[in-house]
């Protein structure tokens, strides 16, 4: 398996990007816990941020007209700030503990909204700031906070294209910030640079395929898809912790 682990890693990156875009949940929610089966947590975090930047660049261009700029600013500013904070402490705190806590949180809250059909009671002026800050902190710490952001965004009843466009731009600034910090910490060495052009191909192909499908998904169905994948990512986070 060792001789093919790079191939498996790239296949995982493709499906993480494809599923992440289709479900509105960040690709890192799947990529980070499973990527550690093939590379170290440090390399996985750095390459996850790289994949995010490449994928977000693609989606920003593809969905530019669908961005909700007000929500982007409200979510994005605290997300960027707290992503930087989390990334600074990413090598001090227990990845396993945070992965388990995150997994339990995602399972509980997604189950509640899926089966009890309740609206998010925290919906209000503070929700974007809380959702953006918490997702940013988790993204910096354990490389996977997109599911929290997606949960918060479901409260605003966005259509699939606007949901993906807005989530993408919120994520963009934080990914650039955390990748800079990861590189300063030496998470990515020259022996792993070969992944970068291959991840460009992964990001391009996965997003082209995803856009063809997402245009045909009704709003209510999309919301259920998001919550279902949040639940699955919660289970994955616990199992692989």
pTM for this predicted structure: 0.74
Which domain, by its residues, includes 11?
Answer: 2-239
The percent of residues in the chain predicted with pLDDT above 90, rounded, is: 9
- Residue 206 tokens, joined: 């996965």
Where residue 1 falls among pLDDT bands split at 50, 70, 90?
very low
Q: What b/e sequence results for 26-60 when a residue is b if at least 16 CB atoms lie within 10 Å of its CB, and e otherwise? A: bbbbbbbbbbbebbebbbbbbbbbbbbbbbbbbbe
Please give the mean pLDDT across all residues of the chain: 81
Nearest Cα neighbor of 25 from 179, 233, 176 is 233
Highest mean pLDDT among 79-83, 143-147, 200-204: 200-204
pLDDT at 185 over 60: yes
pLDDT at 3 over 70: no
Where residue 147 falls among pLDDT bands split at 50, 70, 90?
confident
**Tens digit of pLDDT for each residue in 46-75?**
898 899 899 889 888 888 999 999 989 999
Q: Which of 74-78, 87-91, 173-177 has the weakest average pLDDT?
A: 87-91
**Tens digit of pLDDT for each residue in 92-114?**
656 677 678 777 877 877 787 77
Q: Is 176 helix (H, G, I), strand (E, B) or coil?
A: helix
Tell me how far apart the alpha carbons of residues 87 and 182 are, in angstroms, rounded to a whole number: 7
Nearest Cα neighbor of 241 from 52, 82, 34, 48 is 34
Nearest Cα neighbor of 142 from 236, 75, 55 is 236
Number of structural domains the chain divides into = 1
Tell me whether residue 228 is exposed, middle or buried, using C-beta atoms within 10 angstroms of its C-beta: 0 to 12, 13 to 18, 19 or more: middle
What integer pLDDT is reported at residue 54 of this predicted model? 92
Where residue 124 falls among pLDDT bands split at 50, 70, 90?
low
């Amino acid at each position: 398996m060792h001789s093919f682990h790079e191939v498996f890693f790239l296949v995982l990156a493709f499906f993480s990007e494809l599923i992440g875009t289709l479900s509105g949940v960040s690709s890192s929610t799947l990529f980070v816990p499973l990527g550690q089966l093939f590379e170290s947590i440090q390399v996985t975090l750095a390459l996850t941020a790289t994949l995010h930047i490449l994928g977000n660049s693609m989606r920003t261009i593809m969905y530019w007209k669908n961005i909700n700029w007000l929500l982007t600013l409200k979510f994005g500013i605290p997300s960027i700030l707290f992503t930087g904070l989390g990334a600074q402490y990413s090598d001090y705190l227990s990845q396993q503990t945070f992965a388990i806590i995150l997994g339990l949180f995602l399972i509980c809250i997604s189950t509640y909204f899926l089966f009890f059909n309740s609206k998010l009671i925290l919906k209000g002026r503070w929700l974007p700031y809380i959702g953006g800050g918490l997702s940013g902190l988790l993204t910096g710490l354990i490389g996977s906070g997109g599911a929290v952001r997606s949960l918060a965004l479901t409260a605003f009843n966005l259509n699939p294209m606007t949901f993906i466009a807005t989530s993408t731009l919120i994520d963009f600034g934080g990914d650039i910030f955390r990748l800079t910090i990861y590189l300063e910490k030496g998470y990515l060495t020259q022996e792993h640079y070969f992944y970068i052009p291959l991840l460009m191909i992964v990001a391009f192909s996965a997003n082209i395929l995803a856009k063809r499908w997402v245009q045909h998904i009704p709003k209510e169905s999309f919301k259920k898809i998001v919550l279902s994948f949040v639940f699955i990512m919660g289970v994955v986070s616990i199992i692989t912790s």
